[in-house]
Structure 1
Amino acid sequence: MMKKVEENGLVSMDVFGVICEKLDFDDLFQLAGVCKCWRTLHESYWESFMESEVPLLVQTSYGEKACYFISLCQRKIYCSNMMDYARGCSYAGFSCGYVIMAKANNSLLLMNPFTRRKIDLWQPFHSSLVSYPCHAIIAYVKDSTDFIIVLLSERNSSLYIYQTQNCEWNRWYDPCRVVDFVVFQHIVYVITDDAQIGVVILKSNTFKFLQLNNVPSFTSTDLKLVSSDGNLLVVHFVPRHKFEVYKVDFASMDWIKLETLGDVALFYAKNTKCYALSNPVSRGYEKNCLYYIDQSTTLCEVYSMNNYNFPLYISGETVAPSRSRPYWSDWCFRHVRDEVDYSLLE
């Protein structure tokens, strides 16, 4: 097809790429509608572009109608006006390519800025999602078209799960305070503020806590669960104060403190998810480091496990063109797709 396009005197892939580099997300979608040949070129360009731009930082601000996707390494800002649909909503997370927004009627709106798809979940939540911050992810059900939404409410530190197969919310009751969760090897894991790790039994609305050895004796709300290259990690990070990483060894059922991340970088957002990226140098990032963003600032701090008292450096390249303070900032890993398997915990 590419050869035919060039023989017909139409734009080549190289020229098409130059054109695309000057466009924002919204313009790129319109470009694909020029003709059949341009649509083919666009599909090829879009996949390679999104693969190379990992991760992107997502940011918007109070009073803004636009959403900005920022490439720290390329020092480029891409704009999308799709977030105009989400005025009056509050941010709940980025997952599986979707921005998750909580609406004023306590339902959720899922918007994929890369495919332009929107999903309204009309089933209302139990309490106000807009008044109280929440963190949510999407996970698809294995061998099914259904998906679930896992949501952690800061109002009561409780876990809620919405399942499309029955279109209702369920709350997982437990006296322990859940501070984070992650999908690891098709199972939803949670961690509490006293470092208990458990699995979510989706069919019975219960937790099953793991009997682990060498559990650190601390209580903290700054704990994150991370899936990294087949390992379940626990990150205990407090800016300029604490940076510890543990691996859960399922063979010995031990917590093992890591002295180094090796060829891995962590991408940590204060109120949402923490990601791990292998071979970060190939993406322009440093290994054995943690990239930290907080929605109260437009800066990205970079910490090394060798010295966590002070950041290696602070990047100012996250600043989107805005006249007001940031509303939220998060990391966008476009190709991360979480999937759960109900049969594993029957």
Structure 2
Amino acid sequence: MIHSAATVRKRVRKKDIENGRWANLPTELLEIISKNLNIADYLRFGEVCRSWRSFFSEYKQNFMASQSPLILNISKNAGQSCDFVELDSGIRYKSNLSEYFHNFIFCLGVSRGFLIMKNYVSCYFWVVNPLTGQQFNFYRTPKFSDSVRICKDRAIFASIGSQDQDQDFASIGSQDQDQDFALVILSDSKANLELYTSREDQWKDYSYTGKHCRILDMIVFDGSIYVVTIDNKIGIFNVRSLVVKFLNLKSAPSLSWRIRLVVSNDQLFVVDFITLCPVKVYRIDFSTMEWVGVKDLGGQALFIDLRGERCFKLMKSGGRSNHVYVLSDYECKIYPFNDAEHTTLLSCKWKFRAKTFCWYFVDTSNSIDNIRDD
């Protein structure tokens, strides 16, 4: 569980809780208290007593949705923990994880609130939510290419078949036998997709050939896995048939190999960040089936992970509107959209070199992506 130096539990005396002095506070007052808490204290807030826990459960999604992204740091000497930094205040938190955490040497990405870690020695995949402690373990037979030392693979973790597209993590149990989960790996070295489903307990491969068919990124959108190729084709990957069906889209631009898919407000975007000044953003208009250039981000901000190139997001809360936040080399720089001038917003320094340094989006940490099983 994540924690900080000052917590609600330290401020409230146990005997006062037992005497009911704090347990019977009205909802209005609890709302005022919760609005003045940081993330670590808010999580502790839900542990104080039964009535506070009930309030926490009811309003946690609204609280998380209002928070700025955190910067996640996992150092090579992390042991059993990872660090978080608040973007605005610079406050640092530490999250204690499993005793096996230090064995997982590569982070393949952040799928909503879950970190997807991999150990190349044993070929175990470990999926963990550092805010809740939930974890899932998957094993795959080692392959020759697993010996590479630098991993540029990316991954998606999602449930399969649920009607709820944004399932709350409270309804999900670790290794839940009644829920089917999927782990999808986009391999950079082998140029293929690897799919594992927990119900079948086996790995399947989707391979694609040809210099114009290389998949650069994937994302869950509208209950399906969307992919984008190096020649700017967008398709839907079917987890049952292991086939990619490409869309017939008009006005496709000429983009670089550094493109990523982003979902925001039930819309699909493509971000080209070969140059940061300016970043190119395109929206896929499904009503006209064409690419549309985005000239203004409006009330949203774009967050780019330049170092690992795995965590991108376009969102309303948590940043200056119509700005681009770029995370690289232990710094966060902010650019006005379509403007070369930047400001260094935050400089983070740790004692040990990071093996993972990326964005962690708190607003989606309470849920899991869902893929339709059709």
Query: TM-score normalised to the size of structure 2?
Result: 0.76
Is 1:224–1:273's contact at 8 Å kept on the other side of the alignment?
no
CA distance in 1, matches of 2:52, 2:148: 41
* RMSD of aligned residue pairs (Cα, Å): 3.2
C-alpha change, 1:192 and 1:160, in structure 2 (3 Å) is same
Is 1:227 the counterpart of 2:268? The answer is no
1:342 aligned partner: 373
Shift of 1:243: 0.9
Shift of 1:300: 1.0
Is 1:91 the counterpart of 2:107? The answer is yes
119, 122, 135: which one aligns with 1:105? 122
CA distance in 2, matches of 1:286, 1:335: 16
SS of residue matched to 2:100 = helix
- Deviations along 1:77-109, whole A, 9 cap, x unmatched? 111131653112111111232111102311201
CA distance in 1, matches of 2:117, 2:18: 43
Task: Name the aligned partner's letter for residue 261 of structure 2.
Answer: L
Shift of 1:233: 0.7
C-alpha change, 1:23 and 1:286, in structure 2 (3 Å) is closer
CA distance in 2, matches of 1:94, 1:112: 9
Q: Which segment drifts farther, 125-134 or 235-244?
A: 125-134
Shift of 1:10: 3.9
Shift of 1:238: 2.7
Is 1:62 the counterpart of 2:99? The answer is no
Is 1:245 the counterpart of 2:276? The answer is no
SS of residue matched to 1:259 = coil
Structure 1 residues 115-264: aligned runs within 5 Å? 115-124=132-141, 126=143, 127-128=145-146, 131=149, 132-143=151-162, 145-175=179-209, 176-218=213-255, 220-264=256-300
C-alpha change, 1:230 and 1:240, in structure 2 (3 Å) is closer
CA distance in 1, matches of 2:84, 2:59: 17
C-alpha change, 1:73 and 1:38, in structure 2 (3 Å) is same
Shift of 1:46: 5.9
Shift of 1:6: 9.6
270, 283, 299: which one aligns with 2:331? 299
SS of residue matched to 1:128 = helix
Is 1:188–1:199's contact at 8 Å kept on the other side of the alignment?
yes
Is 2:278–2:338's contact at 8 Å kept on the other side of the alignment?
no
Structure 1 residues 33-52: aligned runs within 5 Å? 36=50, 50-52=64-66
Aligned length: 326
Is 2:158–2:181's contact at 8 Å kept on the other side of the alignment?
yes
Shift of 1:229: 1.1
93, 96, 103: which one aligns with 1:81? 96
CA distance in 2, matches of 1:334, 1:22: 9
C-alpha change, 1:73 and 1:19, in structure 2 (3 Å) is closer
Shift of 1:240: 3.7
2:323 aligned partner: 289
SS of residue matched to 2:64 = helix
C-alpha change, 1:260 and 1:314, in structure 2 (3 Å) is same
Task: Name the aligned partner's letter for residue 369 of structure 2.
Answer: D
306, 316, 320: which one aligns with 2:346? 316
Q: Which runs of 5+ in 1 are unaligned?
A: none
Is 1:102–1:129's contact at 8 Å kept on the other side of the alignment?
no
CA distance in 1, matches of 2:147, 2:57: 36
Shift of 1:37: 5.9
Is 1:72 the counterpart of 2:87? The answer is yes
CA distance in 1, matches of 2:234, 2:304: 20
C-alpha change, 1:23 and 1:182, in structure 2 (3 Å) is closer
CA distance in 1, matches of 2:57, 2:99: 25
CA distance in 2, matches of 1:335, 1:15: 20
Is 1:277 the counterpart of 2:277? The answer is no
Query: TM-score normalised to the size of structure 1?
Result: 0.82
Is 1:187–1:200's contact at 8 Å kept on the other side of the alignment?
yes
Task: Name the aligned partner's letter for residue 332 of structure 2.
Answer: C
Q: Which runs of 5+ in 2 are unaligned?
A: 1-15, 163-177
SS of residue matched to 1:204 = coil
CA distance in 1, matches of 2:91, 2:85: 6
CA distance in 1, matches of 2:224, 2:31: 43
- Deviations along 1:15-73, whole A, 9 cap, x unmatched? 98699759689x949x93x7656755765786565344342221122222331122102
Percent of aligned positions that are identical: 27
